[in-house]
Structure 1
Amino acid sequence: MTQSDQQPDTVSFGYEEVSPEEKTAKVGAVFSSVAKKYDIMNDAMSAGLHRLWKDKFVRRVKPQPGEMILDMAGGTGDIAFRMHERGASITVSDINQDMLDVGIERAMERGLDGLVWSRQNAEELSFQSRVFDAYTIAFGIRNVTRIDKALKEAHRVLKFGGRFFCLEFSTTEWPGFREAYDAYSHKLVPQLGQMIAGDADSYRYLIESIRRFPPMPEFEGMIREAGFVNTRVEPILGGLVAIHSGWKV
């Protein structure tokens, strides 16, 4: 067994160290708690910027009519709806059924047909190998218990020539802005979570999970280690958010 195949005794849950099984359960509880208010909180926390980030992300993916795309951790449908508009066939997957239920309800309200909704663990996908043209995951990879396993599964289910795209928070490298954002996120975001969703602790975890996520170069290395080539990182706001991409050849 190689070092990368060995399972860690503990993993990070925000600033805590917990067992892998405990993290999976705790993350599930977080997203079940915030599912109904998730999109409202995204607007509040980012001043609506998350919508622009997601638009830019989908432009980078370039979904095409007839393509099969897996949108992992896509529960509420934000990315899937954008790609569906461009004619791609989208499978929306999430480990959390409460998040999927919100997305399904939103799709029905919009009269959107043709999306496939599938409860999946990113670390152990039930799909056959080499079936998708693209794999997308937005603001979800940092909540996965074993990120390396999820990346390998992403590689497995993609066709040769398939592309991987990940939108995720990182750490901004802009001096001054970094300190200001740290103060805002640690002090104000939990208060917003309490006011809007009645849940400060879940949003405290979400901020802590950003701080524990690997820096951009390290995460790019993990993507390459999973088998992807031509990897690229596109920082936004100095790296506060980043679009990661790679290809399966």
Structure 2
Amino acid sequence: MSVGRTTATGGMETSYGFRRVGEGDKQPLVNEVFHKVAKRYDVMNDLMSGGMHRVWKDAMVTWLNPPKRPGWTSLDVAGGTGDIAFRIVAASRGNAHITVLDINGSMLAVGRERAEKKKLTDNLDFVEANAEELPFADASFDAYTIAFGIRNVPRIDVALSEAFRVLKPGGRFLCLEFSEVDLPVLDKVYEAWSFNAIPKIGRAVTGDGEPYSYLVESIRKFPNQQNFATMIQRAGFERVSFRNYSGGIAAAHSGWKL
């Protein structure tokens, strides 16, 4: 593909996939995508990643290593369906309290339903709000997680600053996101699969391939590992690092508010 990734200086705020859109136009378009895919979101994640998203999410939560004591709190942003929150509760042996925040009410509805079935409602709160304007006081949480959501936020730098603000001193930021493949053969195979197969699978499963074309394009536009790490550092985080999964198809980024 001739369209390149954005850099650490930004550009995602006017990028709806490969389309350039006006300031303020991206969020409504992204909202519509997730209203469309909410009911089949987890099924499509399995199909798009060959089930690997489960392994990557498990690895991120293992790296987070939530303490197994009461009183520890985490904010999971863009976490509507509950995938990360449920894993954190399990890893903490039922002690952690997670606030699941998403801008999309359809995604949150799926998460609430799943939480009720899993009998985890005492451990979870669900909040509909924007990652760029978190409705919480400074220093409210011990951890902030976001999985496969940051690239859908128009102003990533603002979201990162908000993450820093709401974390307590000593708090941890963890982000899991699709990234830049660093293996010469895998990158060609992955790109062909992404652009040719995923929209077709989306159309077959949900009846609409367009949302999945956007999702694939947004992955290709997102800053690479080093550029995104630079953005995290600019937001104020220290000890910033990342881990590649599956040859860089996904990467987990970590930072601390020290």
Q: TM-score range by the shorter chain?
A: over 0.9
Query: Does the 8 Å contact 2:179/2:248 carry over to 1?
Result: yes
Query: How many residue pairs were aligned?
Result: 244
Higher relative contact order, chain-length normalized (CA < 8 Å, sep 6+)? 2
- Pick closer, same or farther for the CA change 1:149–1:230 going to 2, 3 Å: same
Query: Does the 8 Å contact 2:232/2:240 carry over to 1?
Result: yes
Aligned pairs (5 A) from 1:65-104: 65=69, 66-85=71-90, 86=92, 87-104=95-112
- Name the residue aligned to 2:5: none
Instruction: Report the 3-state secondary structure (helix = DSSP H, G, I; strand = E; otherwise coil) of the residue aligned with 1:106.
Output: helix
Q: Percent identity?
A: 51
- Pick closer, same or farther for the CA change 1:68–1:140 going to 2, 3 Å: same
Instruction: Report the 3-state secondary structure (helix = DSSP H, G, I; strand = E; otherwise coil) of the residue aligned with 2:176.
Output: strand
CA distance, structure 2, for counterparts of residue 63 and residue 203 of structure 1? 33
Aligned pairs (5 A) from 1:66-145: 66-85=71-90, 86=92, 87-114=95-122, 115-145=124-154
For structure 1, the 5+ residue unaligned runs are 1-5
CA distance, structure 2, for counterparts of residue 156 and residue 89 of structure 1? 19
1:199-230 Cα shifts (integer Å, max 9, x gaps) = 10000000000000001100000000000000
- Pick closer, same or farther for the CA change 1:38–1:248 going to 2, 3 Å: same
**Structure 2 length normalisation: TM-score?**
0.92
- Name the residue aligned to 1:55: 58
For structure 2, the 5+ residue unaligned runs are 1-8
Instruction: Report the 3-state secondary structure (helix = DSSP H, G, I; strand = E; otherwise coil) of the residue aligned with 1:21.
Output: coil
CA distance, structure 2, for counterparts of residue 160 and residue 71 of structure 1? 18
RMSD of aligned alpha carbons: 1.5
- Name the residue aligned to 2:33: 30
Counterpart selection for 1:188 from 187, 193, 197: 197
CA distance, structure 2, for counterparts of residue 109 and residue 40 of structure 1? 18
The Cα of 1:71 is off from its aligned counterpart by 0.3
**Structure 1 length normalisation: TM-score?**
0.95
Instruction: Report the 3-state secondary structure (helix = DSSP H, G, I; strand = E; otherwise coil) of the residue aligned with 1:244.
Output: strand
CA distance, structure 2, for counterparts of residue 136 and residue 93 of structure 1? 10
Q: What is the one-letter code of the residue matched to 2:79?
A: G
The Cα of 1:7 is off from its aligned counterpart by 10
The Cα of 1:19 is off from its aligned counterpart by 1.6
Query: Does the 8 Å contact 1:9/1:20 carry over to 2?
Result: no
CA distance, structure 2, for counterparts of residue 180 and residue 123 of structure 1? 35
Q: Following superposition, which runs of at least 4 residues in structure 1 exceed 6 angstroms of deviation?
A: 6-10
- Pick closer, same or farther for the CA change 1:247–1:79 going to 2, 3 Å: same
Counterpart selection for 2:225 from 213, 216, 235: 216
